[in-house]
């Protein structure tokens, strides 16, 4: 699989020298994670499902985490997925849930970024550059339709998909979305609905929907196993009237837009998974460096050393893959499917494997909630689900292996 990236556009391809502005955000994100999030991480994890810490968001917003991908003309950092992914790794190494609040906001912005529509962009993107943090969300998943809305071949078979119908200069949206990160507080959602009369999801269409419109109901927050610092909930749309100009890309063009945004997001989510793995590794390294058994530090026991080495290799490999994927996504439109899928598949597996190994190394203490290792394992399982399960990613990767080169 070759990628045609002009060499002079990608001096950072050696991955040792990130662009200075990306490096700056990464350093800011590391400081934010260590100084603001880390002291609160246990509290964020063990609070009731509905609790949300706006002070943490405010600090993240101050360094630009809510607008890293927003063009500079609208007050953003204009950094692309390389900036987003590297920053999210830093935050996820401490608290993946906090990282996902910012990641989901970026995903909510993605259709706007792809729209190229100056009116829509001017209306919604500056929201993220104010004094207070503003969140966005992306509403795809439904009760009966998960993979059916992200695999084109499944679209005709999708059932009970949220509908849209044109009525004058408006679209009327009706239906219900599930498992929507940030839905509780988002200012707007990127919503995907099927044009009335189109079978399954073959008329899938993308809309920007302000969540203060009449008929929008924010449902209850899901009580999740991990990622507890971010809130996932339902969104109900009861005959919600959306201006026609809020449609993105044309009627029935939602599936490719959804795939394009997913390909962008997967590079960033691979950064989160890498962060989860790194966070677990750091805890294991600290423990093995101080714990003495048999008169020796654990790290000097060969079994432990082998485990730590294996974990480290997985983290490093995951990072290289997501940096490559993010760089690829940042230099090609439409965003390619292959590199982000490979990066996410590998990083998700690394997160679970490394967190599992870390828990094993830390032993009984790793099983305690107070040590935080078990939290990383719980979070690792979450990363493996959203933005493409291993099964979906495998289909995407395999399809790329058999795809003919673009002949245009």
Partner 1 sequence: MTVFSSSEMASDVFGRLFDVLLEDEQFVEKARREALSVQLVHSKPDCRIFVSSEGVVHGEPPFKAAITLKMTCDTAHALWMGRLLVPAAIATGKVRIRGRIAKVLELVPMLQPAFDSYPAIAAESGVGV
Applying CB under 8 A, the residues found at the interface with partner 1 are 4-6, 8-9, 69, 71-73, 78-80, 111, 113-118, 121-122, 206, 248-250, 253, 256-257, 259-260, 329-334, 406, 408
| Strand ranges, E, within 182-307 | 188-195, 204-210, 216-221, 232-243, 247-248, 292-293, 296-297
- Give the distance between the most distant pair of CA atoms in the chain: 79
Three-class secondary structure of residue 149 per DSSP:
helix
What does each C-alpha distance from 127 to 61, 67, 124, 165, 247 come to in angstroms?
12, 9, 6, 28, 19
Residue 327: how many CA atoms within 13 Å on its side-chain side? 22
Shortest Å, Cβ 26 to partner 1: 16
Smaller CB distance to partner 1: residue 248 or 308? Answer: 248
Smaller CB distance to partner 1: residue 81 or 288? Answer: 81
Smaller CB distance to partner 1: residue 70 or 377? Answer: 70
387 carries an active-site annotation? yes
Shortest Å, Cβ 229 to partner 1: 28
Phi, psi of 306, deg, nearest 5 = -65, -40
- In whole angstroms, give the CA distance from residue 196 to residue 174: 10
Smaller CB distance to partner 1: residue 292 or 407? Answer: 407
User: If you compute the radius of gyration of the chain from its CA atoms, what whole number of angstroms results?
Assistant: 21
- In whole angstroms, give the CA distance from residue 374 to residue 355: 8
Smaller CB distance to partner 1: residue 79 or 229? Answer: 79
Shortest Å, Cβ 364 to partner 1: 48
Shortest Å, Cβ 379 to partner 1: 29
Shortest Å, Cβ 268 to partner 1: 14
Decide: 29 and 90 in contact? Cβ < 8 Å: yes
- In whole angstroms, give the CA distance from residue 140 to residue 123: 22
Q: Which of 387, 391, 399, 408 is flagged as catalytic?
A: 387
Catalytic positions, written as ranges: 387
């Amino acid at each position: 699989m070759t990628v045609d990236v002009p060499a002079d556009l990608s001096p950072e391809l050696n991955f040792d020298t990130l662009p200075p502005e990306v490096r700056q955000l990464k350093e800011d994100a590391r400081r934010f994670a260590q100084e603001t999030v880390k002291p609160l991480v246990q509290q964020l994890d063990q609070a009731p499902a509905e609790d949300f810490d706006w002070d943490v968001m405010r600090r993240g917003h101050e360094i630009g985490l809510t607008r890293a991908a927003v063009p500079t003309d609208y007050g953003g950092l204009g950094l692309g997925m390389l900036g987003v992914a590297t920053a999210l790794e830093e935050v996820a190494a401490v608290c993946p849930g906090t990282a996902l609040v910012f990641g989901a906001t970026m995903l909510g912005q993605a259709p706007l970024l792809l729209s190229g529509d100056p009116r829509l962009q001017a209306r919604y993107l500056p929201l993220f550059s104010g004094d207070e943090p503003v969140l966005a969300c992306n509403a795809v998943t439904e009760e009966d339709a998960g993979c059916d809305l992200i695999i084109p071949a499944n679209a005709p078979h999708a059932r009970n998909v949220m509908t849209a119908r044109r009525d004058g200069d408006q679209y009327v949206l009706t239906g219900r979305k599930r498992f929507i990160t940030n839905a509780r507080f988002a200012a707007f959602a990127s919503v995907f609905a099927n044009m009335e009369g189109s079978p399954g999801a073959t008329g899938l269409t993308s809309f920007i929907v302000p969540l203060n419109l009449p008929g929008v109901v924010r449902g209850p927050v899901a009580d999740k196993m991990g990622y507890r610092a971010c809130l996932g909930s339902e969104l109900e749309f009861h005959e919600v009237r959306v201006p026609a100009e809020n449609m993105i890309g044309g009627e029935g063009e939602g599936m490719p837009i959804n795939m394009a945004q997913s390909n962008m997001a997967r590079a960033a989510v691979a950064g989160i998974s890498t962060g989860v793995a790194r966070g677990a590794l750091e805890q294991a390294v600290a423990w093995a460096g101080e714990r003495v058994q048999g008169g020796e530090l654990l790290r000097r026991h060969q079994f432990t050393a082998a485990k730590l080495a294996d974990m480290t290799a997985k983290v490093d490999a995951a990072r290289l893959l997501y940096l490559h994927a993010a760089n690829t996504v940042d230099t090609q439109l439409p965003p390619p499917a292959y590199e982000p899928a490979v990066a996410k598949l590998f990083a998700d597996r690394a997160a679970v494997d490394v967190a599992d190994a870390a828990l094993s190394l830390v032993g009984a203490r790793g099983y305690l909630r107070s040590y935080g290792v078990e939290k990383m394992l719980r979070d690792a399982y979450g990363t493996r689900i959203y933005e493409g399960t291993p099964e979906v990613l495998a289909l995407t990767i395999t399809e790329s292996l058999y795809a003919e080169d673009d002949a245009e």
